[in-house]
Amino acid sequence: MSTEIVTMLIEKGLFSELGSLRKQFKEAIEFMCFNIKTGALPQAPYTFFLQKLIGHLEHSQRLSYSRTPDFFDMLKNLLTHYFKVRDREPFSFEAVFDPSSLTKILIGQLEQYKSQESKTSIVADYTLVGIINLIQTLLEANEDVLD
């Protein structure tokens, strides 16, 4: 799949203003990630999309907090699956990113992020929640990630 097409799918689909469209794109990408057999593919679909989503973390910071929940939820699901495969198949596992570097990037984003939540509003800031959930997922799967 061409990089331009994947970028368009992520930016127009997962970051759409329409919640129903974001949900459908998320479900379609997750179906590809978890149901397509690797077989003759050069890379497992879940690692391909994991790398692409990690590459869009900075882009997520520039969007309205209401447009990011499906992006962060899918990235968390892919990270969780990635670490389960790593733990289940340690000898054949091939790393596609550095958990320590990703954790540091996310902590940096968290430090610089201007939250949209307030004491008088009931609106959740999905970007803030997403960053915190990703950091938690990385810390739970990698005890030495902050060393």
Q: How far apart are CA 55 and CA 75, in angstroms?
A: 11
Please, which residues have CB within 8 angstroms of residue 75's CB and are 6 or more apart in sequence?
50, 53, 54, 130, 134
pLDDT at 88: 92
pLDDT at 124: 81
Continuous H helices in the chain: 3-8, 19-35, 45-55, 57-61, 69-88, 99-112, 126-141
Rounded to 10 deg, the angle between the 69-88 and 126-141 helix axes is 10
pLDDT along the chain (147 residues), means of 10: 80 89 93 86 90 91 81 95 92 90 94 82 85 95 85
Q: Tell me the two tokens of residue 117.
A: 């939540």
pLDDT at 85: 92
Distance of CA 115 to the CA centre of its chain: 19
pLDDT at 141: 94
pLDDT at 70: 92
**Domain residue spans of the chain:** 3-141
pLDDT at 1: 57
